[in-house]
Structure formats: structure tokens, C-alpha cells
């Protein structure tokens, strides 16, 4: 049984694929294990861009990461791959505006998992507000990011706040979030932060996750 969506899952949301594990001598499963032990509240498997795995290896990796999330009872979310999400019995699927149309994804997954959608403009949020079956939205990049080559323009704290105010759905911030700037996020009303490098490139994953949780502790 997939885990039902809860807004608390957005608090310390870790996103990664093989391509994001660069400098450390750890593998992605090892990094995820540390992140789970440190208290992340969700994990999204996003195998994308330069350095990402071939399709066959991606499926194997997804099963490994899925099992880890299950062990720690943390939701496993797949980025932009409905077939992989269904095959691994993921708890959620996340899609962007350029990915498969969200209405089609909602139909395909039915009640098997929750759906997240990236929205970077008020127009996109307005459409999400009218679409039944979306659980949360991801908005950004809040700050410049080195983790996504084709990232949209930075929206900043003011832009993020406007999106949160116009959204009926909980919002998780994304893009360039660090242990330093993360304290600027709660004033926008977001439910949490989603990060790649703050955890994947960290030399102290426990400290990074503890920081994320503390900033959004209510
Ligand atoms: N979408 C918008 S920015 C981004 C994605 C996937 C990358 C976020 O990575 P980082 O390292 O947390 O800036
Ligand atoms: Mg996408």
C-alpha cells in the first residue's frame, strides 16, 4: 500500500539521481541511507541529465532506493517516469510542466500514488488549483542552481511568496537552497524545502537534514 500524502512530507524533501553524487566516495544508496537515518521526510528519485544511468540500470537502482525508503517508512517519489513509478510501487510521482501532461499522469496512476507538479508562474499555479488530483506543488528555482542545466529563471523569495499566496495546494521550495539561505524560506509560507546538493554534496548529511527539519519545525 502506498503512503497517503501528508503535508509534513514536504519539510525535508531530498531529491537525487546518480548524476548528483559527485565528489563523495559514497554511492547513491549510501547517501540515501545516511539521509534517511538523519530524518528526511521524503525522497524523490530523479535520474536525469549528464551522468545519469541507462534505462536498465535506472530500474535496478530505483528498486534499491525504493526498498530503502520502505525500510525507513519514508515516501518514495519518482520524477517524470510513470512506468517506473508503477513498477516500483512508488508512493508518489512528480512531474514538471515540460513532462507528460499532469492530467494524463493523474489518470494513469489513479489512486495508487500521489502526484506533485512543478509550477513556476502564477498562471501555472492557477491551473494546478483547478486540477483535481494534485497533492502539492514544487516552486523555483528560488536561488541559482548548479544541479539543473535547463532550469527556469530564478523566482527569488518575493516570487515564491506570491506563488504560495495564490496556491490552494501546499508548496515545497526548490533550487539553490543552502544551510545559509534556508532560513529565508518560512516567511514565504512554504511547507518545506526540496534539495539536491545541500544533501548530495554535503560533508555532513546529518547536520544538513537537521537544519532543514529545524527551520520548518512548527
Ligand atoms: N528544479 C528546479 S531547480 C532544481 C530542479 C530539479 C535543482 C535543485 O537542485 P539544488 O542542488 O538543490 O539547487
Ligand atoms: Mg521534470
pLDDT of residue 22: 85
Per the annotation, the verdict on 148 as an active-site residue is yes
Determine what percent of the chain is predicted with pLDDT higher than 90: 92
Question: What distance in angstroms lies between residue 204's CA and the mean position of ligand 2's atoms?
Answer: 28
ipTM of the complex in this document: 0.94
Average pLDDT over residues 202-217: 96
- With beta carbons less than 8 A apart as the criterion, state whether 88 and 66 touch: yes
Ligand nearest to the CA of 197: 1
Per the annotation, the verdict on 98 as an active-site residue is no
- With beta carbons less than 8 A apart as the criterion, state whether 66 and 90 touch: yes
Q: Where along the chain do its domains lie?
A: 7-217
pLDDT of residue 205: 97
**For ligand 1, what atom is nearest to the CA of residue 197?**
11
**Catalytic position from the list 38, 58, 66, 118:** 118
Ligand nearest to the CA of 151: 1
Ligand nearest to the CA of 80: 2
Per the annotation, the verdict on 168 as an active-site residue is no
Owner of C-alpha cell 543552502:
178
Contacts of 193 (CB under 8 A, 6+ apart): 11, 12, 13, 172, 173, 174, 177, 182, 185, 212, 215, 216
Grade residue 67 by pLDDT with cuts at 50, 70 and 90.
very high
pLDDT of residue 156: 98
Of the candidate CATH numbers 3.90.650.10, 3.60.40.10, 3.20.20.70, 3.40.50.300, the domain formed by 7-217 belongs to: 3.20.20.70
pLDDT of residue 112: 97
- pLDDT at 1 exceeding the cut of 90: no
- With beta carbons less than 8 A apart as the criterion, state whether 15 and 51 touch: no
pLDDT digits over 4-53, tens only?
999 999 999 999 999 999 866 899 999 999 999 999 999 999 999 998 99
Q: Rounded to an integer, what distance in angstroms lies between the CA atom of residue 112 and that of residue 41?
A: 20
pLDDT of residue 56: 94
Pocket of ligand 1 (CB under 6 A): 140-141, 145, 147-148, 151, 174-177, 195-198
Grade residue 99 by pLDDT with cuts at 50, 70 and 90.
confident
**Catalytic position from the list 122, 148, 161, 213:** 148
- With beta carbons less than 8 A apart as the criterion, state whether 200 and 20 touch: yes
pLDDT digits over 189-205, tens only?
999 999 999 999 999 99
Q: Rounded to an integer, what distance in angstroms lies between the CA atom of residue 72 and that of residue 185?
A: 27
Question: What distance in angstroms lies between residue 196's CA and the mean position of ligand 1's atoms?
Answer: 6
Average pLDDT over residues 90-98: 95
Q: Rounded to an integer, what distance in angstroms lies between the CA atom of residue 33 and that of residue 28?
A: 8
pLDDT digits over 112-161, tens only?
999 999 999 999 999 999 999 999 999 999 999 999 988 899 999 999 99
**For ligand 1, what atom is nearest to the CA of residue 200?**
11
Amino acid at each position: 500500500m502506498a503512503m497517503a500524502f501528508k503535508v509534513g512530507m514536504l519539510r525535508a524533501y531530498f531529491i537525487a539521481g546518480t548524476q548528483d553524487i559527485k565528489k563523495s566516495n559514497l554511492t547513491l544508496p549510501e547517501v540515501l541511507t545516511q539521509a534517511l537515518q538523519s530524518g528526511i521526510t521524503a525522497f524523490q528519485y530523479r535520474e536525469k541529465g549528464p551522468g545519469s544511468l541507462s534505462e536498465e540500470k535506472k530500474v535496478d537502482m530505483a528498486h534499491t532506493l525504493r526498498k530503502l525508503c520502505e525500510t525507513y517508512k519514508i515516501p518514495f517519489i519518482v520524477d517524470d517516469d510513470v512506468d517506473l513509478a508503477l513498477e516500483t510501487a512508488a508512493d508518489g510521482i512528480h512531474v514538471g510542466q515540460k513532462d507528460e501532461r499532469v492530467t494524463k499522469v493523474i489518470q494513469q496512476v489513479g489512486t495508487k500514488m500521489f502526484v506533485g507538479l512543478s509550477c513556476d508562474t502564477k498562471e501555472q499555479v492557477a491551473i494546478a488549483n483547478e486540477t483535481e488530483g494534485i497533492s502539492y506543488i514544487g516552486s523555483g528555482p528560488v536561488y541559482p542552481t548548479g544541479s539543473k542545466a535547463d532550469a527556469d529563471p530564478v523566482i527569488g523569495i518575493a516570487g515564491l511568496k506570491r506563488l504560495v499566496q495564490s496556491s490552494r495546494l501546499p508548496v515545497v521550495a526548490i533550487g539553490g537552497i543552502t544551510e545559509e539561505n534556508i532560513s529565508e524560506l518560512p516567511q514565504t509560507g512554504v511547507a518545506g524545502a526540496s534539495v539536491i546538493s545541500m544533501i548530495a554534496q554535503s560533508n555532513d548529511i546529518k547536520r544538513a537534514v537537521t537544519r532543514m527539519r529545524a527551520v520548518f519545525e512548527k
